Amino acid sequence: MKKTTVLSAIEKNKRKLAALAVAVCLVVAAVLVDNLLVPLEYLWAFASAPSVSARAEGDLRVHFVDVGQGDCTILEFPDGRTMIVDGGDNSKSVRDTVVGYCRGLGIRSFDYALLTHPDTDHAGGLDEVFRCFGAETVYLPYVVRADADAAYAEALRAAEEIGAQVRLSQTYETIVSESEEAFYYLMFLSPLSPQIESSYYTAANAEGADAQAVNDASAVVYLEYAGRSLLLTGDASAAVEDKLVSDYTVLGGSLFGLTVQTAWGEAVLSPRPEEIDFLKAGHHGSADSTGEALLSLCSPETVFISAGAGNLYAHPSMTCIQRIRDLSPGAEIFRTDELGTVILTIHNDGSYGVSYAES
């Protein structure tokens, strides 16, 4: 009996050791896949990716991704290049949403990425996007102390890990189409370089800088295609908008005129803020953004607002909504807190449509 009992115990121990060995192998395999092949979040995205129709040839698409109280915009250019602007916050649900949506679009790698400013609700998910998909060129705000904001620090670290070209967001940075046939361009209208406006950057990078100083360092970008234009303003306040409008008006519309050399020849870029068709409301539709000066100049046909349903800030503000209705009475307003992810499609003949992603 004793011999049988001993043998039984040995067999049980063997089975336990075998099970432990299998578990260890699975963990090691998961770590290797995550670190050497592809992040596990990317594999999960295969299952969680939404169904998004493919972009038609010649179309430019802008996806205002529903990331709750945060920001994430994905651009699909007519020549097939892609760009992500901000990545939502660092919560698991939002990170899964962003990675899953990128997967749903069939993105293999981003050509460009932009972090408008260091706030966590814009920077939080970008590190995961970089590690899952990569990005060739990454535009980051001017930040003196990279470790001052954890989300920014992670985004910067991930950009460096993937070998991206990291550039500073500043006025006159441009992205121009690879061909003249489907011509488009994107230009940074703000902020100015640190050398030109050092006091402005000092305020944004000061110890304990207030929220508005950080928000006002946001990149403001203008995109034009097929005679249509879109303005993205990040979290910049009306003070930044007012300065842009004032400078543009004083210089007779020539402020942003620029001639650039492309692979197919010279391209003359001439942003016209007074002709903007599509505006993404600043700072999630807060009361201190999307001000009178900007709306009076632009009078956009369509306004997009990224905000979270029932958020603590009561965004979008009814003050902002009323201002849009008063100063651009014909404008349609599309809100992610009400509609989920919103997709703007601009066709090569200048016609356009707005649709929604399947949830």
The tens place of each residue's pLDDT in the chain, 359 residues long, gives 555 555 565 666 666 665 565 555 555 554 444 454 556 666 666 566 788 899 999 999 999 999 999 999 999 999 999 999 999 999 999 999 999 999 999 999 999 999 999 999 999 999 999 999 999 999 999 887 666 678 999 999 999 999 999 999 999 999 999 999 999 999 999 998 776 766 656 655 655 555 777 788 899 999 999 999 999 999 999 999 999 999 999 987 789 999 999 989 999 999 999 999 999 999 999 999 999 999 999 999 999 999 999 999 999 999 999 999 999 999 999 999 999 999 999 999 999 999 999 76
DSSP class of residue 78 equals: T
Query: Looking at residue 353, what is its pLDDT?
Result: 98
Three-state DSSP class for residue 328: coil
Q: What is the third-level CATH fold of 47-356?
A: Metallo-beta-lactamase; Chain A (3.60.15)
**Angle, CA 223 vertex, CA 217 and CA 227 arms, to 5°:** 150
Q: What ranges do the domains of the chain cover?
A: 1-37, 47-356
Element (H, E) at 18: helix 2-32
Residue type, 41: E
**Residue 191, preceding peptide bond in cis (omega within 30° of 0):** yes
Contact 300, 258 (CB under 8 A): no
Cα–Cα dist 276/230, whole Å: 6
Both structure tokens of 127: 């590190």
Both structure tokens of 359: 């949830």
Both structure tokens of 109: 């790698």
Query: Looking at residue 24, what is its pLDDT?
Result: 55
